């Protein structure tokens, strides 16, 4: 049984190596040939490795300006003319490409999301009041001084528990234990 599996795996590996060699030879012939002026960009390894995206020549600012006048007026009312639609407006539920002149970003969004403040406004215009990611100021932890340590020792001598001392100073019980042990209590 083991011999049969070993032979089968060896045969599969040999077939795979033939396929790889055949594909590599075919790709080398395509790249070397000068007669094809256009190499398919999704197959070109240079473009794939570089990570750059090719610009779309069929879309540009102002191409559908006449068709988008009504929607552009609605956008201007909300975003004061900084967000411009690039693709043709179909309806409020279609996803369209937009351009922001303030942050110079191209982004996809639905018109109903952009026009409704509660849904998904553009990043430049998100206020903390309406944003989903609310930034909450975290209070800075108070650093314990030597005077605080001496007060902790005095409270511990009076018979207060370490948990109560920790609550008073806003630190953990382990911090109180460490400070008291360093102070010799």
> Does residue 49 lie within any of the structural domains?
no
CA atoms within 13 A on the CB side of 11: 6
Establish if 107 belongs to a structural domain.
Answer: yes
Q: In this predicted model, what pLDDT tens digit does every residue of 136-174 receive, in sequence order?
A: 556 666 788 999 999 999 999 999 999 999 999 989 999
Is residue 23 situated within a structural domain?
Answer: no
Domain range for 105:
66-115
For residue 52, what are the CA distances in angstroms to 41, 45, 49, 100?
Answer: 11, 12, 8, 21
Task: Report how many domains make up the chain.
Answer: 2
Instruction: Decide if 13 is inside a domain.
Output: no
Whole-number Å distance between alpha carbons of 147 and 27: 76
Long-range contacts of range 153-160, CB-CB < 8 Å, 24 or more positions apart? 153/180, 153/183, 153/185, 156/180, 156/185, 157/185
Question: Treating both helix axes as pointing N-terminal to C-terminal, what angle do 146-157 and 173-182 enclose, rounded to 10 degrees?
Answer: 90
Averaged pLDDT, groups of 10, the chain, 185 residues long: 75 85 67 50 52 54 81 87 86 87 82 79 58 56 86 93 92 94 89
User: Residue 150 domain-assigned?
Assistant: yes
Residue 157: what pLDDT?
94
Domain for residue 59, yes or no? no
């Amino acid at each position: 049984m083991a011999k049969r599996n070993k032979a089968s795996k060896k045969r599969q590996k040999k077939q795979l190596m033939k396929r790889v060699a055949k594909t590599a030879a075919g790709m080398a012939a395509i790249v070397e040939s000068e007669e094809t002026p256009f190499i398919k960009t999704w197959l070109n390894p240079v473009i794939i490795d570089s990570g750059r995206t090719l610009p779309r020549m069929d879309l540009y600012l102002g191409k559908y300006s006449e068709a988008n006048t009504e929607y552009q007026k609605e956008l201007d009312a909300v975003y004061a003319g900084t967000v411009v639609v690039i693709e043709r407006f179909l309806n409020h539920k279609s996803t369209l490409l937009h351009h922001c002149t303030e942050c110079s970003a191209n982004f996809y969004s639905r018109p109903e999301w952009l026009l409704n403040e509660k849904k998904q406004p553009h990043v430049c215009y998100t206020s903390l009041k309406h944003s989903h990611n609310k930034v909450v100021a975290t209070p800075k932890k108070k650093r314990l001084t030597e005077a605080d340590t001496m007060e902790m020792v005095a409270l511990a001598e009076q018979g207060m528990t370490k948990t109560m001392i920790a609550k008073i100073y806003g630190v953990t019980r382990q911090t109180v234990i460490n400070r008291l042990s360093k102070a010799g209590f």
